[in-house]
Amino acid sequence: MTASAPVRAGYAALLGRPNVGKSTLLNRLIGQKLSITAPRPQTTRHVVLGIQTLPEAQIVYVDTPGLHRQARRAMNRYLNRAAASVLGYVDVVIFMIEALRWTEEDEHALERLTDFRGPVVLVVNKVDRIAGKSRLLPFLQDAAGKRDFAEIVPVAALGGDNVTALERVIARLLPVREFLFPADQITTASERFLVAELIREKLTRLLREELPYALTVEIERFAEEGHLTRINAIIWVERETQKGIVIGERGATLREAGRQAREDMERLLGRKVFLETWVKVREGWSDDEQALRSLGYADLGTG
């Protein structure tokens, strides 16, 4: 890059149906774990910003919850609002689908972009899982006809295949503008938010199908004491029976989730962590708008 070459900066939203790989891609692009991942819908519940500063551009990736076609509960309505709200301010949309799969939820998510006037890049994820690559070309040709995409980029977010090419595409589509954040900043999320998400990720992965998505984490205490950080967390569930599932036999599940989360926290924070967790019941919190707000599920991206 010459000294006179203009730099570019802007926001790029990662949008698509649940479980298509948006958070995995964000973590790969940033080179650090910002968004939690699990093979379950509703893992991403908040809009998370990841900042990537290249020599020629600063890309602010906006990870969003998966867009749900059915939104009967307050939590699902919140997730849809959170995802759709970013369209009001982003410069580029990265619309993600899975290779060789096009579902009604993909169609619904794409319909949400009808009024978006900026460039939309179609990212086809998980191409590394395709045995016969000859099947991919007809799928890409069919997908290309669903909208006037600025580019179509096949990737494997987990392994990193073709992700650098995607970075170049996004950077080229951003407006000419000075960087929006310091070059060494990688997110706007607070440490309290990130550690709460780590606990929720570990429980989501450990519990798998056992527990409905009626679980959230609230950080009650986050205190730095020299080289040690003390964290007290409340894990909220909706029913007394769920409390027993989270704790596990003789506390085994909660203890293992805490151990895994603490190790990730120490890597994230760069210091020792003392973590204490409690499981409490708050009936019906995930279908109660007021309860959602009190637990940190405020609508984001609209002001």
CATH number for the domain formed by residue range(s) 8-173: 3.40.50.300
pLDDT in tens, 100-136: 999 998 998 899 899 999 999 999 999 998 887 788 9
pLDDT band at 303 (very low <50, low <70, confident <90, very high): very low
pLDDT in tens, 152-192: 999 999 999 999 999 999 999 999 999 999 999 998 888 99
Q: What is the mean pLDDT of residues 246-250?
A: 92
* 8 A C-beta contact, residue 22 and residue 44: yes
* 8 A C-beta contact, residue 197 and residue 174: no
Length of the chain: 303
Its CATH class, for the domain covering 191-294, is alpha beta
Q: Do strands 228-237 and 215-225 pair parallel, antiparallel, or not at all (unpaired)?
A: antiparallel
Answer whether 8-173 and 191-294 agree in fold.
no
Q: How far apart are CA 301 and CA 283, in angstroms?
A: 28
Question: Exposed/middle/buried for 111, CB within 10 Å: 0-12, 13-18, 19+?
Answer: exposed
Classify residue 186 as left (phi > 0), alpha (psi -120 to 50) or beta: alpha
Residues 6+ apart with CB under 8 A from 118: 90, 91, 92, 93
pLDDT in tens, 189-203: 889 988 998 998 899
pLDDT in tens, 49-89: 899 999 999 999 988 766 656 556 666 676 667 667 788 88
Secondary structure of 195-223 in the HEC alphabet?
Answer: HHHHHHHHHHHHHCCCCCCCEEEEEEEEE
Q: How far apart are CA 13 and CA 10, in angstroms?
A: 10
* 8 A C-beta contact, residue 38 and residue 205: yes
Query: What backbone phi and psi angles, to 5 degrees, belong to 228?
Result: -120, 140
Q: Where are the domains of the chain?
A: 8-173, 191-294
pTM over 0.85: no
